[in-house]
Structure 1
């Protein structure tokens, strides 16, 4: 998911002097207190971390309650959903006016009726509430379905996400994956047929392309491994 990112940061963790003989454990405890909470400094929810202590000789800070400042370098896995990003989650509740989702096992999301595209119709099948596509009978959303949806907004305090199923590339992940695979296969067949036609035309004119190009799945152009062939003399 594009809302997951890794961030590296140099930090100072403040440890009580009574923990001076167990600095590593004390730092571990402090970092653990950041987990599954939105942190403004990192602009995201900390999901996991690893760290190294940079300075073995920590400095004791003066004050009424002195603390030890420990400098560390940490690598953090952050959950940072922004508007228009795609998220994936498991449906936990379906009603006539909404779809409720859990993301990564801890964040809740709701997709209201206004954000469900007209393609989906609310039905009750076998005593189970579902949203079913009018155009693709196998494209259904019910409790337990893994769906992909668009982020509209995030309530940082309670980690509640408002989502949308308006875009055509959102919905049941399993159905979308099969649908995209079919499109890919069709696209490859058309591309292969087009390449054969172009090569035939070039050969008819006494010219062979000196360098072939192909597209990978990221739509970046790369040179093929075919060897260059000399142009035919006119």
Structure 2
């Protein structure tokens, strides 16, 4: 016998099995993820939970009916918070109808540089379980937009808010199966960047934006009209 077979024989003896023993049966639920209750609910409940948990993580939230209102909403929020009116926005077609004209904003479309202070990006999904954004890096949504500017404005369609992380990954896989390109990277963002590496003191903006502002577009099924 080889040393490997000797070791396997000792293991089998210890658990009361032989080389001829059939493999143990595996319960069907063994590989199923245990989904917490807060990751389940109706579309309107998931939207409300996403808002609550994103706010708890120190994100700010705004809501608009259509993407055409985005430019006005962004301009108003920046002015209210004394933030720059020069922004860099993803060249993603999802932002093409954002209504930037006549807002007083100076908008550049493309990747962020170290000089950019405010970015605007689309998001792939929102995760209600933790108030988290799933953002994909594509040629139309450069990775730098999520990390370099001090202020990140993320645009989220309420129809893409899912319950748990498993739902978000499943949505990404379905997108690939339908012919969409899988992204080079996926970033999960919960609130502004923070770190407690130094003396366990939480510091905002060390590894990314100091502010995360989420603009929700549209209403989920079952939500009341305001």
- Shorter-chain TM-score bucket reads under 0.3
- Greater helix content: 2
- TM-score for both structures, normalised by structure 1: 0.18
- TM-score for both structures, normalised by structure 2: 0.19
- Greater strand content: 1
Larger radius of gyration: 1
Higher relative contact order (CA 8 A, sep 6+): 2
